[in-house]
C-alpha cells in the first residue's frame, strides 16, 4: 500500500487543455505563418531583378529560372498568408465564441449548485434551532415534574401549592411536546431536502456539467480536425508552387547557356601567328615583331562570369541613339551593330506605316472636307517625315559600320521622294530641315572637326586602326570618347583610329 501511494504521488499531473489554450495556440501559429510569409516576400523582393521585358527574355535559362523560382516563392508566401487568415477566422473566432458560451453555461450551473447548498444549509440551521429548543423545553418539563413530586412529598405544602406545581409541570410538558413535534417536522423536512440535494439536484447539475464538458471536448476535437483540414486545403496550391520550381530546374539547359555566353563574348579575332626564329649567328637584324601590342580593349576572363556589360535602358528603348562600338571585339561589335540596325529598321517601319496612314487620311479629308480639315494633319505629317529622314540617316550610318565590320553588304537608304516632297512643301525654316541636311552631310561629305600632328609612329595593325608616322599632318574626324582613341583621316584618304596620346591637336 505504501509503495502504491508513493508511486501515485510521484506521478506527473497532466493539466487538461481547454478551448482557451487551443485558441491561443492557433492564434500564435497563425502569427508564425504570417511572419513566415512576410519574410519570404522580403527575401524574394531582395533577390528579384527588375528590368524591361526584352532584357528578361534574353537572360540565360539559369538566370530566368532563378527569377521564376522567386515568383513561385511569392505565390508560396501568398498560400501561407491564406493559411494564416483561414486559421484566424475559422478556428480562433469560432473557438472564442464557443468558449464564451461555455463559460456562461458553466456559471449558470454553478449558481444552481450554490443555491441548492444555501437552501440545505438554511434548513440545517432551522433543524439545529428546533432541536436545541426541544432539548431545552424537555429539560424544563422534567424539572417541573420533579418539582411537583417534591411539593407532593412535602408535608408543609398546601393543596394549592400542589395544584400550582402540577399546572406548571403540565404546561412545561405541553411546550416540550410542541417543540418535539416541531423538531420532528423540521427533521423530516431537512432529510427530504438533503435527499433531494444529493440524489436529484447535484446529480442533475453534474450531468449538465458533464454534457457541457463533452461538448467542449468535442469542439476541441473538431478544432484539431479543422486545424489539419485548413492546412490540407492549401497544400495542393503549395505543391503546385513546389512542382513549378522543380519543373523550372529541370528545364534549365546548361549547354545552351554556355553556348550563349560564348557567343556573347566571342571576339572573332584571329590568334597570333607563330613567332619566327631569328638567327643572330647569321648576322640577321632583329625584325620587328608582327605581334604588336593591340591597344584595343580586351575582355578579361573573370568578367565573363561576373557581370554583363551595362547597357542603359535609354540605349535599349531608343535605338536611334548612336554609340561608339569600335572599342568592342569584332564579333561583339558586329552583333551589337546588327542589333542596333534591326531596332532602327523596326522603328522606321512603324514611322513609315504611321506616315502612310496619315497620308491616306489626308487624302480622304481632301475628298470630303466634312470628315476633317486636311491642314490639321500637316504638322504630324511633317514631324513623321522628319523622323523617317533621321531614322534613314542613322540606318545608313549603322549599315556602313556593319559593312566595315564584315556583317553585310553596303546598302544605301535614300529618303523617299514622298518625304522629300513633304519637307520641301512644308512651311518650315532651314533650321528645321536639320535631319535632311545632316543626312546629306554625314554620307556625302565627312567633314573634319580639326587638325592634328602625329607625335609617334603607329603601325595600325589592329582592326579599325590606321597607321601614321611622326610629324604627319592628319585631319581629326572624331575626338576621344573616353576610351583613349581618336578617329583621324590621312592625306591619302585612309580613315581609322589612333591612340589619343600619339597625336597633338593643332
Report the pLDDT value the prediction gives residue 318, as an integer from 0 to 100.
40
CA 221 to chain centre: 35
User: What is the full per-residue pLDDT of the chain (506 aa) written as tens digits?
Assistant: 344 444 343 333 344 556 678 788 888 999 999 999 999 999 999 988 765 454 555 678 888 889 899 999 999 999 999 999 988 888 888 888 888 888 888 899 889 888 888 988 988 888 888 888 888 888 888 888 888 888 788 777 788 887 888 888 888 888 888 888 888 888 998 899 889 888 988 899 889 888 988 988 888 888 888 888 988 999 999 999 999 999 989 988 888 888 888 877 776 666 778 888 887 777 655 444 444 444 444 444 444 444 444 444 434 444 434 455 666 667 777 778 888 888 888 988 998 988 888 888 888 888 887 777 878 888 888 888 888 888 888 888 878 777 776 665 545 454 444 444 444 444 444 334 433 434 344 444 467 788 899 988 888 777 778 889 888 999 888 888 777 788 898 888 888 888 888 898 88
Query: Residue 391: which residues within 8 A CB-CB, separation 6 or more?
Result: 320, 344, 347, 348, 351
Beta strand pairing status for 450-454 and 473-478?
A: antiparallel
The answer for 479, left when phi > 0, alpha when psi is -120 to 50, beta otherwise, is beta
Residue 242 and residue 258: Cα distance in Å, rounded?
A: 27
Question: In b/e form, how buried is each residue of 27-61, taking b as 16+ CB within 10 angstroms?
Answer: bebbeebbebbeebbeebeeeeeeeeeeeeeebbb
What gap in Å lies between CA 430 and CA 432, rounded to an integer? 5
Q: CA angle 69-74-79, nearest 5°?
A: 120
**Residues forming a β-bridge with 503:** 454
Cβ-proximal residues to 474 (8 Å cutoff; 6+ apart), any chain: 451, 452, 453, 454, 468, 488, 489, 490, 491, 498, 503
- Could you tell me which residues come within 8 angstroms of residue 328 by beta carbon, excluding any fewer than 6 positions away? 297, 336
Return all residues near 453 (Cβ < 8 A) that are at least 6 apart.
Answer: 471, 472, 473, 474, 503, 504, 506
> How many CB atoms within 10 Å of residue 352?
17
Measured over the CA atoms of residue 91, residue 96, residue 98 and residue 103, the dihedral's sign is positive
Residue 463 φ/ψ, nearest 5 degrees: -65, 135
- Are the C-beta atoms of 426 and 386 separated by less than 8 Å? no
C-alpha 505/C-alpha 473 separation (Å) is: 10
Let me know: does 356 contact 364? Beta carbons within 8 Å.
Answer: no
In angstroms, the CA 283 to CA 462 distance is: 31
Q: What's the pLDDT score for residue 34?
A: 92
User: Residue 58 and residue 64: Cα distance in Å, rounded?
Assistant: 9
- H-type alpha helices, 286-329: 313-317
Which 3 state secondary structure label does DSSP give 413? Answer: coil
Distance CA 199, CA 196 (A): 5
Of 191, 335, 189, nearest to 260 by C-alpha is 335
Q: Are 476 and 468 a contacting pair, CB within 8 Å?
A: no
Classify 453 as helix, strand or coil.
Answer: strand
DSSP 221-241: HHHHHHHHHHHHHHHHHHHHH
How far apart are alpha carbons 201 and 210 in whole angstroms? 14
Q: Which long-range contacts (CB under 8 A, 24 or more apart) does 43-48 make?
A: 43/73, 44/70, 44/71, 44/73, 44/74, 44/77
CA distance 390 to 274: 48
| pTM (global) more than 0.75 | no
Residues with Cβ within 8 Å of residue 170, at least 6 apart in sequence: none
Pairwise CA distance, residues 244 & 250, whole Å: 10
Question: Residue 402 and residue 390: Cα distance in Å, rounded?
Answer: 18
Other Cβ atoms less than 10 A from the Cβ of 400: the count is 16
Confidence at residue 327, expressed as pLDDT on a 0 to 100 scale: 65
Task: Say what the pLDDT of residue 175 is.
Answer: 87
**Taking CA 407 as the corner, what is the angle to CA 403 and CA 408, rounded to the nearest 5 degrees?**
65
> Where is 418: in which H helix or E strand?
helix 417-425
Amino acid at each position: 500500500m505504501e509503495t502504491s501511494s508513493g508511486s501515485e504521488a510521484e506521478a506527473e499531473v497532466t493539466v487538461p487543455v481547454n478551448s482557451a489554450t487551443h485558441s491561443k495556440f492557433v492564434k500564435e501559429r497563425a502569427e508564425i505563418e504570417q511572419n513566415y510569409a512576410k519574410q519570404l516576400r522580403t527575401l524574394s523582393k531582395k533577390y528579384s531583378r527588375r528590368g524591361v521585358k526584352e532584357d528578361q527574355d534574353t537572360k540565360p535559362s539559369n538566370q530566368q529560372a532563378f527569377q521564376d523560382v522567386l515568383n513561385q516563392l511569392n505565390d508560396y508566401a501568398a498560400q501561407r498568408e491564406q493559411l494564416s487568415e483561414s486559421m484566424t477566422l475559422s478556428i480562433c473566432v469560432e473557438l472564442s465564441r464557443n468558449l464564451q458560451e461555455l463559460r456562461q453555461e458553466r456559471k449558470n450551473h454553478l449558481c444552481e449548485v450554490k443555491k441548492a447548498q444555501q437552501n440545505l444549509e438554511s434548513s440545517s440551521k432551522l433543524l439545529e434551532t428546533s432541536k436545541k429548543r426541544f432539548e431545552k423545553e424537555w429539560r424544563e418539563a422534567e424539572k417541573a415534574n420533579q418539582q411537583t413530586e417534591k411539593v407532593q412529598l412535602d408535608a408543609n405544602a398546601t393543596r394549592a401549592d400542589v395544584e400550582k406545581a402540577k399546572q406548571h409541570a403540565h404546561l412545561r410538558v405541553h411546550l416540550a411536546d410542541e417543540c418535539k413535534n416541531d423538531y420532528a417536522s423540521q427533521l423530516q423536512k431537512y432529510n427530504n431536502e438533503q435527499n433531494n440535494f444529493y440524489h436529484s439536484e447535484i446529480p442533475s447539475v453534474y450531468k449538465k456539467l458533464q454534457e457541457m464538458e463533452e461538448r467542449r471536448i468535442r469542439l476541441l476535437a473538431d478544432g484539431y480536425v479543422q486545424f489539419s483540414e485548413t492546412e490540407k486545403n492549401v497544400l495542393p496550391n503549395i505543391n503546385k508552387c513546389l512542382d513549378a520550381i522543380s519543373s523550372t530546374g529541370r528545364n534549365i539547359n546548361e549547354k545552351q547557356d554556355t553556348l550563349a555566353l560564348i557567343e556573347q563574348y566571342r571576339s572573332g579575332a584571329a590568334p597570333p601567328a607563330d613567332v619566327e626564329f631569328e638567327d643572330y649567328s647569321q648576322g640577321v637584324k632583329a625584325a620587328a615583331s608582327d605581334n604588336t601590342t593591340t591597344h584595343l580593349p580586351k575582355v578579361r576572363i573573370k568578367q565573363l562570369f561576373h557581370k554583363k556589360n551595362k547597357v542603359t535602358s535609354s540605349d535599349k528603348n531608343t535605338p536611334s541613339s548612336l554609340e561608339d562600338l569600335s572599342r568592342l571585339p569584332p564579333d561583339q561589335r558586329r552583333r551589337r551593330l546588327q542589333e542596333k540596325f534591326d531596332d532602327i529598321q523596326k522603328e522606321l517601319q512603324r514611322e513609315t506605316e504611321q506616315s502612310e496612314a496619315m497620308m491616306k487620311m489626308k487624302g480622304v479629308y481632301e475628298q470630303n472636307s466634312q470628315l476633317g480639315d486636311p491642314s490639321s494633319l500637316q504638322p504630324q505629317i511633317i514631324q513623321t517625315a522628319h523622323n523617317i529622314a533621321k531614322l534613314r540617316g542613322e540606318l545608313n550610318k549603322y549599315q556602313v559600320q556593319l559593312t566595315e565590320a564584315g556583317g553585310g553588304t553596303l546598302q544605301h537608304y535614300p529618303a523617299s521622294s514622298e518625304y522629300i516632297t513633304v519637307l520641301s512643301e512644308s512651311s518650315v525654316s532651314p533650321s528645321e530641315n536639320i535631319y535632311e541636311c545632316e543626312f546629306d552631310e554625314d554620307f556625302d561629305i565627312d567633314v573634319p572637326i580639326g587638325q592634328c600632328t602625329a607625335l609617334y609612329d603607329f603601325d595600325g595593325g589592329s582592326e579599325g586602326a590606321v597607321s601614321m608616322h611622326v610629324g604627319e599632318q592628319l585631319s581629326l574626324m572624331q575626338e576621344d570618347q573616353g576610351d583613349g582613341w581618336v578617329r583621324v583621316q590621312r592625306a591619302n584618304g585612309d580613315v581609322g583610329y589612333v591612340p589619343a596620346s600619339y597625336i597633338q591637336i593643332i
